Amino acid sequence: MTHDTNESQILMNPSDVCTLLGIKESTLRKYALILQDAGYKFHVNDKGQRGYFQNDVIVLKRFMEIKQNRDMTLEQAAEAVMAWVQQSNVAVSVIDRNRETERYNDDIKALKEMVAQQNELLKKLMMRLDQQQKYIEESLKKRDELLMQSLKESMETRKMIAEAKEEKKKGFLSRLFGK
């Protein structure tokens, strides 16, 4: 029942198929889901969207013809279509999930390696930032200590100058008044 997809076939979007079959997109979705439940495989892209090949349109057309029989449910019509597909050897569109998975496994592996490299780089950058922050804090602390020391020395010098001026004033007054 599962045959390889002919790569030269044209993949149609749902609106094109709806135009060909004369149905609404919601009806197409409903029919596709019923056929999938019965075992039919449609082309599905990596985003989970269905695409339709010419063979899929033939199967859908046959489903619509069979469902016209009032005695059949949609599920029974889908089973009948699946029997017809198997008997008539209609090529069924199938995604080779293993090939798709293998293709994406390489991409996933590459992405994981890139994430690991970026994590390592982030660790190094964080260490450098921590070292830089530590250096800045130590530099500010040294600067503050030097500033405080300079202020103390400046205040002591001013105090000594003031005392010297006071001493000079006392000396002049003492000489003047003889005290």
Identify the H or E element spanning 43: strand 43-44
Flag the least confident range among 3-17, 38-52, 126-140: 3-17
pLDDT at 83: 85
Q: Where are the alpha helices (DSSP H) in 49-96?
A: 54-67, 74-88
DSSP letter assigned to residue 48? S
What is the C-alpha to C-alpha distance for residues 138 and 87, in angstroms, rounded to an integer?
84
> Rounded mean pLDDT of the chain?
83
CATH number of 14-95: 1.10.1660.10
| pLDDT(129) > 80 | yes
Tell me the pLDDT tens digit for each residue of 64-115.
Answer: 888 887 778 888 888 888 888 888 765 444 444 455 566 678 888 888 999 9
Tell me the pLDDT tens digit for each residue of 57-66.
Answer: 999 998 888 8
Tell me which of 58 and 179 has the higher pLDDT. Answer: 58
- pTM for the predicted model, two decimal places: 0.46
CB-based contact 33:124 (threshold 8 Å): no
| pLDDT(132) > 60 | yes
Tell me which of 167 and 175 has the higher pLDDT. Answer: 167
- Give domain limits for the chain: 14-95, 97-179
Average pLDDT for 122-140: 95
